[in-house]
Structures are given as structure tokens and as C-alpha cells.
Amino acid sequence: MKLRLVAPTALIDINNAPELTQIREEHGEFVIGALTRHDQLANDDGIRRRCLLLAEAANVIADQQVRNRGTVGGSLAHADPTADLPTACTALGATIVAASKKGTRPIKSDEFFRDYFTTALRPDEIIQEVRVPISQTGSGGAYLKLTKGHNDFAIVAAAAQLTVDSGLICKTASVVLGGVASTPIHAKETEAHLTGRKLDDRVIHESAEKASQSLNPPSDIRATSEYRLKMTKEFAKRVISLAAMRALRGA
């Protein structure tokens, strides 16, 4: 509404729905209500211990005033590709649960974000909750972004969730980029190069160099396309290194 993208004729206040503000563990997942505030997510003990990538993303959203009032469901439904939670949730393989009078419908994060400010939500649906797999032994994640100011949207964002064995061999890799396309996107060449290899400096560098392949990021008043491509590789390297260190610590 602030951006004049929509001009609704009516608004419905859903703040008086306490069941939508809870964070709980269920069947190996964190279940996060759509009205969970960013600050609540950033400081939840369980999230910080077992899903640090998500807490890090929530902690760098805008400023403290926004984090006190902004909600998880609102951020995801807005679907700004430079926002933090869409990138983080995609990297974590989260499921967004939509609700309507007809019932609920799970939507994988990879399928939820369709285009700029466009999601798979139907006109009669709202987000009820988000389900995020809880990190297992040997997993580690990280979220980093480049901005012009501490409370700005991402010029480039990178999220990585890795699983390793005790020898630092990468078993699974999820590396997702934000701010470089109309939706968060997996760096597929990077993920493929990491998987099955020992995560030493050479492999991490090679994998990060592949992060910008097939990208055609936009140029705008904050950064040129060329600068975004360069920073994509740099931030991919940083976030993979940090995630690998955390994964090995928990292996």
C-alpha cells in the first residue's frame, strides 16, 4: 500500500489471532505462525540454536521498529526479491501453509515466489504458518547481505545451508541468492559443485565463482548489474565458508 502497488477498498485486522503468533516444534519442523514478529523470530532460543540462518535473516530486516511490528507472513506474502525472509526460507526448504474457507494448502517455498511481488497465493487465501525443517547433526547455515545502509534492502543476499560428515565432505548443499532476480534463486551450479566434495578453501572458492553463472541481475540506483555479479561471487564465498564452519562444529 505504501508503494501504491495496491489500493484495497477494505482492510481486515487479523492481529487478534494469538494462534498465529506461536513458534513451536512439531514432527521435526519449526512451525512459525504468520503473525510472528521479526524480532520474536530473531531472538527465539530454539531458532537460534537449531536454525541460525533464519534468525540471522530476521535480525537484519530493516530497523528495530520494523522488526517489532513486521510479521513473517507479511514479508513472505509481499514477496520482495530483495527482502530477507524469502531468501532464507527458500534456502531452508520451508513450506508455506495457505489457508482459506476451503481449508489449508502447503506450498513449497521454491514454488511460492512467482515474480516481483507475486506469489502462489490465491485471492481467497492468507498465510497461516511457515514450516521449516529443523537442522540435524552436521548441518550449518548462514545468511549475509550487502546493503547501502544498515536498514536497507539487499543489493545482494546469500543464504547457505550445508550438511557435512566428520571429514567435512558436503552431503547436501542449498545456496540461494536474493536481490539478483525477480525471486530468490538457487545457485544450482554452486550447489552441484559443493555436493560430494570436501569443503576446503579451493572447493569453496570454485563453488562461489559459479554462483553468478546464468545470472542477469538488474541495474538500478543502488547498483549496476556488473557490480551485483561481482558481489554475488564474494558473498557466496563468505556465506558458504561460514555455513561450512558451523556445520563442521555440529558434525
Return the C-alpha torsion angle 39, 52, 82, 104, nearest 10.
Answer: -80
pLDDT digits (tens, 9 = 90+) for 81-114: 999 999 999 999 999 999 999 999 999 999 999 9
Continuous segment of H or E residues that includes residue 63: none
Which one is the CATH code of 139-250: 3.40.50.1220, 3.20.20.140, 3.30.390.50, 1.10.8.290? 3.30.390.50
pLDDT of amino acid 82:
95
> Which residues lie closer than 8 Å to 208 by C-beta, 6 or more apart?
190, 233, 234, 236, 237, 240
Alpha-carbon span 43 to 115, nearest angstrom: 30
Q: What is the pLDDT of residues 23-51, one digit of tens each?
A: 999 999 999 999 999 999 999 999 999 99
Per-domain boundaries in the chain: 20-133, 139-250
Of the candidates 76, 94, 55, 86, the residue with the CA atom closest to the CA atom of residue 181 = 86
* Number of residues written out for the chain: 251
Residue segments in the chain with a per-residue pLDDT below the cut of 70: 251
Residue 18 CB neighbour total at 10 angstroms: 9
Where does the chain have alpha helices with state H?
38-43, 45-50, 52-59, 64-69, 72-78, 84-91, 109-112, 188-194, 201-209, 225-250
CATH topology of domain 20-133: 3.30.465
In this prediction, residue 251 carries a pLDDT of: 58
What gap in Å lies between CA 22 and CA 225, rounded to an integer? Answer: 40
What's the rounded Cα separation, in Å, for the pair 69 and 63? 10
